Amino acid sequence: MIHRECGVLKTTYEADMALYPLPIARRAVGAVAALFFLVLPFSVHEYYLSIVNLVSIAVVGALGLNILVGYTGQISIGHGAFMSVGAYTAANFATRLHWPFWLSLPLGGLMAALVGAVVGIPSLRIKGLYLAIATLAGQLIIEWTINHVTWISGGVQASIEVPRPRLGGFEIASQREMYFFLLIFVVVAITGTLNLVRSRVGRAFVAIRDHDIAAELTGINIFRYKLTAFAISSFYAGITGVLYTYYLGIANYEQFQIVTSIDYLAMIIIGGLGSVLGSIFGAIFVTLLPILIRYAMEAFGGLVLSPQAVLNTIPNLRLILFGALIVFFLVVEPEGLNRLWRNIRNYFRLWPFAY
Amino acid sequence: MSAQLEIRDVSKAFGGVQAVARLSLEVPPGEILSVIGPNGAGKTTLLNMINGFYHPDRGRIALEGADITRHRPSQIAELGVARTFQNIALFKGMTVLDNLMLGRHVHMKSGVLASFAYWGLAQKEEVAHRRRVEDIIDFLKIQDLRRRPTGSLPYGLQKRVELGRALALDPKILLLDEPMGGMNQEEKEDMARFILDVNEEWGTTTILIEHDMGVVMDISDRVTVLDMGQKISSGSPDEVRSDPRVIKAYLGESRRA
Whether residue A137 is predicted with pLDDT greater than 70 in this model: the reply is: yes
Angstroms from A88 CA to nearest CA on chain B: 25
Residue type present at position A150: T
Contact state of B73 with A202 under an 8 Å Cβ cutoff: no
B64-117 pLDDT tens trace = 999 999 999 999 999 999 999 988 899 998 999 999 999 999 999 999 999 999
Whether residue B43 is predicted with pLDDT greater than 50 in this model: the reply is: yes
Contact state of A17 with B127 under an 8 Å Cβ cutoff: yes
- Chain A residue closest to B108 (CA)? A200
| Spatial CA neighbour of A342 closest among A25, A9, A16, A14 | A25
B177-228 pLDDT tens trace = 999 988 999 999 999 999 999 999 999 999 999 988 889 999 999 999 999 8
B144-180 pLDDT tens trace = 999 999 999 999 999 999 999 999 999 999 999 999 9
Residues of chain A with CATH 1.10.3470: 44-349
pLDDT value for A1:
42
Angstroms from B6 CA to nearest CA on chain A: 20
Residues of A with CB under 8 A from a CB of B: 12-14, 16-17, 192, 195-196, 198-204, 206-207, 209-211, 213-222, 228, 232, 274
A161, A153 in Cβ contact below 8 A? Answer: no
pLDDT value for A315:
80
**Does CATH place domain A44-349 in 3.40.1280?**
no
Residue A327 and residue A329: Cα distance in Å, rounded?
5
Closest CB to B98 among A203, A216, A232: A203
pLDDT value for B254:
62
Angstroms from A206 CA to nearest CA on chain B: 8
Q: Residues of B with CB below 8 A from A8's CB?
A: none
Output the 3-class SS for A262-293: HHHHHHHHHHCCCCHHHHHHHHHHHHHHHHHH
Top-tier CATH class for B1-80+171-257: alpha beta
Contact state of B116 with A192 under an 8 Å Cβ cutoff: yes
A101-135 pLDDT tens trace = 999 999 999 999 999 999 999 998 898 899 999 99
Whether residue A3 is predicted with pLDDT greater than 60 in this model: the reply is: no
Contact state of B74 with A216 under an 8 Å Cβ cutoff: yes
- Mutation site for B-interface testing, chosen from A63, A218, A239 by largest number of B Cβ within 10 Å: A218
Closest CB to B53 among A196, A203, A217: A217
Residue A92, class by beta-carbon neighbours within 10 Å (0-12 exposed, 13-18 middle, 19+ buried)? buried
Q: Which of the four pLDDT bands, split at 50, 70 and 90, describes residue A2? A: low
Per-residue pLDDT, averaged over A156-163, amounts to 84
Residues of chain B with CATH 3.40.50.300: 1-80+171-257
Closest CB to A201 among B85, B94, B110: B110
DSSP string over A81-131: HHHHHHHHHHHHHHHHS---HHHHHHHHHHHHHHHHHHHTGGGGT--HHHH
Residue A90 and residue A94: Cα distance in Å, rounded?
6
B44, B213 in Cβ contact below 8 A? Answer: no
At A1 the three-state DSSP class reads coil
pTM, rounded to two decimals: 0.92
Cβ neighbours for B37, distance < 8 A, ≥ 6 positions apart: B43, B225, B226, B227, B232, B249
Angstroms from B187 CA to nearest CA on chain A: 23
Closest CB to A218 among B53, B93, B103: B103
Q: Which of the four pLDDT bands, split at 50, 70 and 90, describes residue A351? A: confident
Q: How far is CA B150 from CA B90, B122, B146, B167, in A?
A: 7, 25, 9, 16
Angstroms from A302 CA to nearest CA on chain B: 49
Per-residue pLDDT, averaged over A48-58, amounts to 95
Contact state of B89 with A214 under an 8 Å Cβ cutoff: yes
